[in-house]
Amino acid sequence: MKKCLALLAAFSLAGVTFAATAAQPLSAPDTGQLRASGTVSARGATNLSDLEDKLAEKAQEQGAKGFVVNSAGGKNQMYGTATIYK
């Protein structure tokens, strides 16, 4: 019984995690049938992972299903742009 409850809890948490991150980072070949619908930019991140999270948040606000990072740079404050796909 405990194993069943643990398994159910694991699947429930996994479902919540996937639903919370609607816009996914893509590589150029992964865009497939999606069409480019604009760009987003972000700044003020402390590392590349944080920058990608900021770009994903902005892409999700625009209703994108995914995004491709076009540029990233900076030293103490990272900045970058991404093309969004719907």
- Give per-residue pLDDT as tens, 25-84: 776 666 677 888 899 999 999 999 999 999 999 999 999 988 999 999 998 899 999 999
> Residue 83's beta-bridge partner residues?
39, 68
Q: Tell whether 8 is covered by a domain.
A: no
> Residue 73's beta-bridge partner residues?
79
Token pair of 84 as six digits: 């969004």
Q: Tell whether 11 is covered by a domain.
A: no
Token pair of 72 as six digits: 């990233």
What is the predicted pLDDT for the residue at 22? 59
Say which CATH number the domain at 37 has. 3.30.1660.10
Instruction: Kindly report whether the global pTM for this prediction surpasses the value 0.75.
Output: no
**Sign of the alpha-carbon dihedral angle for 49, 40, 26, 72:** negative
- Domain count for the chain, please give it: 1
